[in-house]
Amino acid sequence: MKPILKRNNFLLKSFAIIFLLNLILSCKNSHFSGLENGDLLFVTAKETGLSGAINNVTQKQKNASFDHIGILEKDKNGLFVLHAAPKGGSQKQGLKDFLKDQANDGQRVIVYRLKPQYQNTIQGAIENANSMLGKPYNFNYILDENSYYCSDFIERAFRSDHIFKLEPMTFIDPKTGKTNTFWEEFYQKKNLKVPEGELGCNPNGLAASDKLERIKELK
């Protein structure tokens, strides 16, 4: 009887270990549950530097302060973010690596989702986004066909379905009524005129779309 008892104890311990491992793994991945193909991931803005300068002239909502955006793609290989970033240009990045990069910069990620009546545009947008991969980052933030910045990348992905729209850009500091000092110096160094009034887009403008709904913070 003793060998049988030992064997049963061994089996029970093995099952217990397997159960605990599955529980731990499910807890680690629980914050990814509920994510859907085509979800838009908005990254919160910093208060200083380029991030703060972007937010200073574009923020539209008190609870929405963003400086970056990507679109989630779910496929058989996992979860990925399609986005245009200063480091790496237009790219397809694993979701965990994307979140790690934002956390390292002290920024948070907020999930937005297209409302049900616009969900049929997602597959085409993801195909368009994949076709734009490999393009360099647009450091001038003036629209062109050879490089993209983050919100530009997303607007183009959905352009054929008119989900978002280009609007006249402004670089005016709302507190002073004058061109934001950061942007004035930014374009002076590039020997470019501040593109005030030229068409463009930004993460805060996209987040304000009535075609989107805010879902949750992704941790």
What is the four-CA torsion angle of 214, 91, 118, 40, rounded to 10 degrees?
A: 0
SS (H, E, C) the chain: CHHHHHHHHHHHHHHHHHHHHHHHHHHHHHHHCCCCCCCEEEEECCCCHHHHHHHHHHCCECCECEEEEEEEEEECCEEEEEEEECCCEEEEEEHHHHHHHHHHCCCCEEEEEECHHHHHHHHHHHHHHHHCCCCCECCCCCCCCCCECHHHHHHHHCHHHCCCCCEECCCECCCCCCECHHHHHHHHHCCCCCCCCCEECCHHHHHCCCCEEEEEEEC
pLDDT category, 65, cuts 50, 70, 90? confident
Kindly state the average pLDDT of the residues 118-133.
Answer: 98
Averaged confidence pLDDT in the chain: 86
- How would you classify residue 45: left for phi > 0, otherwise alpha for psi between -120 and 50, otherwise beta? beta
Topology (CATH) of 35-218: endopeptidase fold (from Nostoc punctiforme) (3.90.1720)
pLDDT tops 90 at residue 19: no
pLDDT tops 90 at residue 48: no
Tell me the percentage of the chain whose pLDDT exceeds 70. 78
State residue 24's pLDDT score.
43
pLDDT category, 174, cuts 50, 70, 90? confident
State residue 26's pLDDT score.
43
pLDDT in tens, 68-102: 999 999 999 999 999 999 999 999 999 999 999 99
**Pair of tokens at residue 11:** 């089996």
Whole-angstrom Cα distance, residue 154 to residue 17? 44
pLDDT category, 210, cuts 50, 70, 90? very high
- All residues at 6 or more sequence positions from 92 whose CB lies less than 8 Å from its CB, including other chains: 73, 80, 81, 82, 130, 133
pLDDT category, 57, cuts 50, 70, 90? low
Predicted model pTM:
0.82
Domain ranges of the chain: 35-218
> Which of the residue ranges 9-13, 68-72, 144-148, 169-173 would you say has the lowest mean pLDDT?
9-13
pLDDT in tens, 149-164: 999 999 999 999 999 9
- Pick from 155, 145, 95: which is nearest to 125 by CA? 155
